[in-house]
Amino acid sequence: MLTDHVLLCLYPAVAAIVFHCVATLIYNTSFHHLSSFPGPVLARYTRLWLVCQTLRQRRHSVDVILHKRYGPIVRIAPNELLISDARYFKPIYGIGSHFTKSAWYRAMDHDAEDGFNLLAESNMKKYWHQRRLISPVFTTQELLQHENLLSKPLRRLVERIKIGLGKPQALVDWMNILSLDLLTEMTFGRSPDYIEQGHDDGNCAGIDRFWQHLSWIGLLPGYSDWYKYLQKWLAAIGIPLFYHPDTSKLPIIQFFLKEITGRKCGMRPTTASSGIAASMQKIQAAKPELKDQWANVMLLHVVGAGFDTIGTSLSMCLAFIYSTPDCCGKVLDELHTLNPTSQPAYEQLARLPYLEACIKESMRLKPIIGTSLPRSVPEQGFILEGRIIPPGTIVGMNPVVIQQDKGVFGDDAAVFRPERWLEANREQRGAMEFQSLAFGGPGRSCPGRNLASIILTKTVAEIVCHFDVTILRDDEALASGRPVYKEASFFVFKAYNIWARLEPRPDMGRVPEE
């Protein structure tokens, strides 16, 4: 009798749940404001379809397939659209756009009102205030004051690679290691010297776990909010899917904290040549409103959030240059015009058009972001294909897709061809440069893009000057007992297992000066 009574009480609740689910399915399919847009069937009903695709870490290729199958506007969640039409790039991402970052970014946002996170900040007034405070540190002119600090890590890398000449070497691993030493040297005037150790001490795997976690949990903002309160409990019972990686334990973060603490306590010298940290202190002296916390977090982002993306970009650029017929020869011809007896300065290298075109083309085809950059439609709504999209709807573009737009980059947009940047007239080149999300949208670009450009340019030139490189095909990698090339995207785009056989280049081989 008691059981029957309990069941009788449960019937209305179960019926209500079933009714709600059925009503939601019908609404999302036929009456929702996005119901007329095509897309995967499951994506109409639940965000879990998008979560599953993100967990597979293939958004950089899945989104390309979606647009080929469904067209320029694809519904990828009940309230989210993926767009590839170039007409909508400027309204969504352009300077002065009223579109704000979506709730996805809340997963990485700070809790304090006076915190600092330019990537996740949704308060545009606060964003621009903080951005203007730190911007003088990251101008090309200011960064070049510390250019000499890059020479030592580059010299060490050349010497270290020569130990394994003739044998297949892990290009991505070496570029990640180099990036760690370059960024710390450029920031503090010293580095952990991972190049000498020959490994990154687990930093890359640790930062990968961090991005893998954020990439999917950000898609469930309601869950991510209450998850913060359960984080310690979930970690204690060992549920890896729900575990939030603790990046504070990474060796590179520990190195950073020691440097910051040492400088604060006067244990580290701070001279005009000691890097970005010195520039930041100089700005703080002139602008007291630049708080210590904000300055330190920005420096942390330079070191901790930049090495893996720069490492991947370097690896892909070198792989393209050495795998494309005549490309390396053209870069060498330009470098020969400098007739360098020592490492050429960035200002010299920046005037080499083909080298610049190679870097632009590589960043176009393999941008550091492999998923869409979601934005929330503003209060005034948005007209899309003649239809009114209401406020709060999520829209976004994937850099991998829009940077291969044939209407902007030509019919061979999927091919690595640096010449397109040299052949384009001023208007065409401007259009190609504008339609880029390689460093975020024009209205929210990465403050470290000038630093990345300097490192990419100097490193690519240095490797090409010193080494003749053969990139192994997958069958050659397998034959030598090594894993084959693979790609992944968990917000950031990653490449793994690029194997390269390096030989010294006798005509230009040289060691950069200290």
User: Residues within the annotated binding site for heme?
Assistant: 446
Distance CA 354, CA 343 (A): 18
CB neighbour class for 427 (10 Å; exposed up to 12, middle 13-18, buried from 19)? exposed
Q: How far is CA 310 from the centre of its chain?
A: 8
Binding site members: 446
Q: Identify the H or E element spanning 257.
A: helix 251-264
Instruction: Provide the 3-class DSSP secondary structure of residue 310.
Output: helix
Token pair 């450029």: residue: 186
State the Cα angle at 462 between 456 and 465, rounded to 5°: 135
* Cross-strand pairs, 499: 170
Distance CA 126, CA 115 (A): 10
- Token pair of 219 as six digits: 């898609």
Residues in the chain, overall count: 514
Distance CA 143, CA 310 (A): 16
Strands 73-77 and 80-83: antiparallel
- Token pair of 391 as six digits: 């406020």
Distance CA 33, CA 55 (A): 27
CA 435 to each of CA 35, 81, 474, 481: distance values in angstroms, whole numbers, following the listed order: 28, 19, 33, 41
Strands 492-496 and 486-490: antiparallel
